[in-house]
């Protein structure tokens, strides 16, 4: 089985650095080749992130599809809408 690329891009803050192991070790390594991208310091990471549709970071991509995790609603808003 061929692996699909997965990437985790973030700005390098302490909270995101702490999340790296959980995010990068979660996908099945037999299915996904995980890459860490720091758009602020990696000159080659930013174009790839932009091409994938990343707007805010942190944001993982799996198979080229962005999973925006930083631009959603506040938990309080979600709870009040239920």
* pLDDT over 70 (residue 45): no
How many helices (DSSP H) and strands (DSSP E) are in the chain?
3, 4
The pLDDT, as a whole number, for residue 39 is 64
What is the architecture, at CATH level 2, of domain 4-81?
A: 3-Layer(aba) Sandwich (3.40)
Domain boundaries along the sequence of the chain: 4-81
Long-range (24+ apart) CB contacts under 8 A made by 43-46 are 45/9
* pLDDT over 70 (residue 73): no
Q: pLDDT of 26-39, one tens digit each?
A: 888 899 888 877 76
């Amino acid at each position: 089985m061929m692996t699909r690329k997965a990437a985790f891009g973030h700005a390098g803050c302490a909270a995101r650095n702490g999340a790296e192991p959980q995010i990068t070790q979660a996908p099945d390594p037999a299915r996904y080749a995980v890459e860490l991208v720091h758009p602020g310091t990696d000159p080659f990471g930013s174009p790839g992130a932009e091409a994938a549709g990343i707007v805010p970071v942190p944001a993982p991509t799996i198979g080229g599809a962005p999973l925006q995790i930083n631009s959603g609603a506040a938990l309080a808003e979600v709870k009040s809408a239920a």
